[in-house]
Amino acid sequence: MKIAIGADHAGVDLKDVICQHLQAQGHDVQDFGTRSHESTDYPDYARAVAEAVAAGQFDRGILICGTGQGMVMTANKVRGIRAAVCLETYSARMSREHNNANVLCLGGRVVGPGLALDIVDIWLRTEFSDSPRHQRRLDKIAEVEQAHRR
């Protein structure tokens, strides 16, 4: 799977752990940065990853900041992105199975590496349930998105 990953300074350490883990599993991972602990602006990384996923260059995206909240707010501004903050495995599974999330957001100051890797693994292997009720809800999300085009 082709995965885009990005983080601000608060998520850089967890990003590096996740990158190594995914590469060891054979995934094609592109690191959009940051590579430093110097203060950076999370919207820059969220936008870059979200736009690359929305353009179809990557199958999925992963974003990490301090809490995951800033990343999810920014990523969800990009048309076609369904980003979810997941701080435990149940939400990770449901965000894929019910919501077909294409960007996972994590909090580097909230989850440790072990739990984060479990979340990532479950999120990546869970397929979207194409149940009519879930697809109907995604269609409604797309309608809202379309109604608010700029």
Q: Are 95 and 102 in contact (CB under 8 A)?
A: no
CA 131 vs CA 99, 103, 136, 150: distances in Å? 11, 21, 9, 31
**CA distance to 18, 43, 146, per residue, from 85 (Å):** 16, 15, 23
**DSSP letters for 90-122:** HHHHHHHHTT---EEEEETTTS-HHHHHHHHHH
Residues in the chain: 150
List active site positions: 65, 98
In this structure, are residues 105 and 64 in contact, taking their beta carbons and an 8 Å threshold?
A: yes
